[in-house]
Amino acid sequence: MTDSPALTLEEAQARVLALAPAMPVKRVAATEAVGRYLAEDLVARRAQPSADLSAMDGYALCGVGSWRIVGESRAGAPFDSKLMWGQCVRISTGAHMPAGADRVLIREEAELLQPDLVTVSHDIPPGQHVRKCGFDFAEGDKVLAAGTRIGPAQLALAISAGHGQLPVRRAPRVAVLDSGDELAADPADCGDHQIPASNGAMIAAMLGALGCEVLRIGPVADDAEALAAALEQAEGADILVTSGGASVGDHDLIRPALEAWGARIDFWKVAMKPGKPVMVATRGTQVILGLPGNPVSSFVTCFHFVMPLVRAAMGASMPVPRKAMLVCGTELPAIGGRREFLRAAWDGTSATLVDSQDSSALASLAAANCLIDRPAGSEMVEAGTSVPAYLLENGGIA
């Protein structure tokens, strides 16, 4: 096996994203598009608001001085006549401004001289408390760009812009394969020489949150024939993710099994901790990512590589997780020659390292909600210092 230098995280991510298969576009009900990414720019089919509206409860005025109340405009029931100088109508928030009215006197400032006569002690400038037609967006405006993730606010905007259906890309079909002689399929029936096969379930859950159709395969023994048979089950997947056996030990058989299956290896080392032995390969249009077997390494590499790959395949304009600057609540140790991602718990004020940074420690992974990013060669950092970190919620995507 020819050795090769380890890639940086950004180099490796760029190479993974360049392999992303473009999933086919389909139109779905807008409410079913939440969590997906727009496949095309979205253009408004209507203006919002579609007419001048009142921004407050009060009186819609025509002219200046005092005003005779001649009717009412309510949301959904507009006043249907034109106001003349010196006239007004009672108006509620969101109601149409009558023809002839150009300003709103709020109810709290109004003085009633008679039951139907209103005045005020100060000037009300034209346009006061009026939401002009199209101030939010006009018909024909681009309201959302292709690649935008549809969340609750984007859903509301799309519907308000007149769209009952949205163009999105299909989520990839992903096969997740666990391998290792030490893995037990049933956690309730696990010998002392075994560990429960939790990585596949963890990865499937991470990808399921993105809407992927996930096929679980395994656990599969460290045996060439068993691995060959397991790989055949992944034939129809857009993406194959393996966990375990991606390193270079005598019993790490994933790479030779993939090569025998016809896969072409792109790279297999990244200069990061945890997660150095990451293998990326292709077989036709299928993208294959081999993740380390240690659970924390598997989680971190899925977070940095698999989830961004899935988002890119779904058309995301920003598929990689984004950093935030968090105040560290504890002193951070100096870092050696490899970039490290330290598990920490952020309480909204500061991020504190969890008890163990061992790559097999699942309790500390479950206690963490962020990864503090420590570049190679970083010096010790005192508590109270702001440091870059990745929030784990939503796969690091807001």
pLDDT at 161: 98
Does this model's pTM top 0.75? My answer is yes
What lies within 8 Å, CB to CB, of 59 at 6+ separation is 67, 69, 88, 89, 90, 91, 104, 105, 107, 110, 118
pLDDT at 1: 44
pLDDT at 3: 61
Q: Is 144 helix (H, G, I), strand (E, B) or coil?
A: strand
In the chain, which stretches have pLDDT less than 50? 1, 250-251
Q: Are 243 and 195 in contact (CB under 8 A)?
A: no
DSSP states along 249-296 = STT--HHHHHHHHT-EEEE--BSEES----EEEEETTEEEEEE-SSHH
pLDDT at 191: 85
**Residues 249-295: pLDDT tens digits?**
544 689 999 999 999 999 989 999 999 999 999 999 999 999 999 99
pLDDT at 394: 80
Q: What is the CATH number of domain 53-131?
A: 2.170.190.11
Rounded to an integer, what is the distance from CA 193 to the centroid of its chain?
Answer: 39
Class for the domain spanning 25-47+136-169: alpha beta
Name the token pair of 27. Answer: 């139109």
Any idea where the domains of the chain sit in the sequence?
A: 9-24+170-313, 25-47+136-169, 53-131, 323-396
Instruction: Tell me the CATH architecture of domain 323-396.
Output: Beta Barrel (2.40)
Q: How far apart are CA 98 and CA 107, in angstroms?
A: 17
Task: Return the amino acid letter for 47.
Answer: A
The strand pair at 165-169 and 25-29 is best described as antiparallel
Q: What is the CATH number of domain 9-24+170-313?
A: 3.40.980.10
